[in-house]
Amino acid sequence: MLQDNFREVEQRIEAACRRSGRDPKEVTLIAVSKTKPVEMLQEAYDFGTRIFGENKVQELTEKYDQLPKDIHWHLIGHLQRNKVKYIIDKVDLIHSVDSVRLAEAIDKEAQKHGITANILIEVNVAGEESKFGISPEETESFIEKIAGFSHIKVCGLMTIAPFVENPEENRPYFQRLRKLSVDIAAKKVNNVTMSILSMGMTNDFEVAVEEGATMVRVGTGLFGVRDYARI
Ligand SMILES: *Cc1c(COP(=O)(O)O)cnc(C)c1O
């Protein structure tokens, strides 16, 4: 049952919080619903889920149109500049900002709608060539470059850790992202907070919570394995 999966993941988050002396209220579970049919999201909605993560603009907007309007949508995947306009007024948070030009495009569209867009900076903390994201070394100067945009607000950092068999292998990357966010917060850049640390997925969210994640993005663990042939 879908609801049992949600309960189990929530309990594992709570247990990880207890182990690390954290308050479970500090950790937000993002239900990553990519590739899953709207009926399944509706079922999750019906037992109380209100925060969904999608990685594709078109899929997010299609689901947005079909589902209740009190859902909070998070765009977690790579975002192209020319698609910002389709989601700017639909999402609570963009997790994946990794270039000045993208930040500029988000700022411009947010201005058009008279809103401030909340964003996270995607950091490629393991330096994987296949991944998007700013290198840890460049993250601070990158944030200084975009902090001046008046219609975006930098709320924290996000990372997609490597796919590993043993989640312990990702602990150093989560520690590194946490340290980076503390260091950047200490600089007190105008218009920038480091209140969100988005890290941890199905395979490693407990380790991420132990290392300070405030948002975990869980797909498979909630909705089951994805069938990419469906879409
Ligand atoms: C798909 C996806 C997730 C969830 O992955 P699971 O391993 O299924 O939990 C998290 N973050 C991003 C950016 C994703 O694209």
For range 46-70, the mean pLDDT: 98
| Statement: residue 202 has pLDDT above 80 | yes
| Statement: residue 45 has pLDDT above 90 | yes
179 in any annotated domain = yes
| Statement: residue 68 has pLDDT above 90 | yes
What is the Å distance from ligand 1's center to 176 Cα?
20
> How does pLDDT run across 121-177, given as a tens digit for each residue?
999 999 999 899 999 999 999 999 999 999 999 999 999 999 999 999 999 999 999
Nearest Cα residue to atom 10 of ligand 1: 217
163 in any annotated domain = yes
What is the Å distance from ligand 1's center to 188 Cα?
31
Considering its fold, how many domains does the chain have in total? Answer: 1
| Statement: residue 216 has pLDDT above 90 | yes
- pLDDT at position 227 is 82
Q: How confident is the model at residue 93 (pLDDT cuts 50, 70, 90)?
A: very high
For range 90-115, the mean pLDDT: 98
User: Which atom of ligand 1 is closest in space to residue 221's alpha carbon?
Assistant: 9
For range 84-106, the mean pLDDT: 98
| Statement: residue 220 has pLDDT above 90 | yes
Q: How confident is the model at residue 229 (pLDDT cuts 50, 70, 90)?
A: low
CATH number for the domain including 152? 3.20.20.10
229 in any annotated domain = no
Tell me the pLDDT of the chain averaged across its residues. 97
- pLDDT at position 88 is 98
Determine if ligand 1 sits within 6 Å of the CB of residue 218: yes
230 in any annotated domain = no
Residue 102, domain extent: 2-224
| Statement: residue 50 has pLDDT above 60 | yes
| Statement: residue 230 has pLDDT above 80 | no
231 in any annotated domain = no
What is the Å distance from ligand 1's center to 113 Cα?
29
Determine if ligand 1 sits within 6 Å of the CB of residue 35: no
What is the Å distance from ligand 1's center to 217 Cα?
6
| Statement: residue 23 has pLDDT above 80 | yes
Determine if ligand 1 sits within 6 Å of the CB of residue 32: yes
- pLDDT at position 228 is 76
Determine if ligand 1 sits within 6 Å of the CB of residue 74: no
DSSP state of 173: H
Phi first, then psi, for residue 90 (nearest 5°) are: -115, -20
DSSP state of 25: G
Contacts of 220-229 spanning 24+ positions with Cβ under 8 A = 221/5, 221/8, 221/9, 222/2, 222/5, 222/6, 222/9, 222/31, 222/32, 222/44, 223/2, 223/5, 223/31, 223/32, 223/33, 223/36, 223/40, 223/44, 224/5, 226/34, 226/35, 226/36, 227/35, 228/35
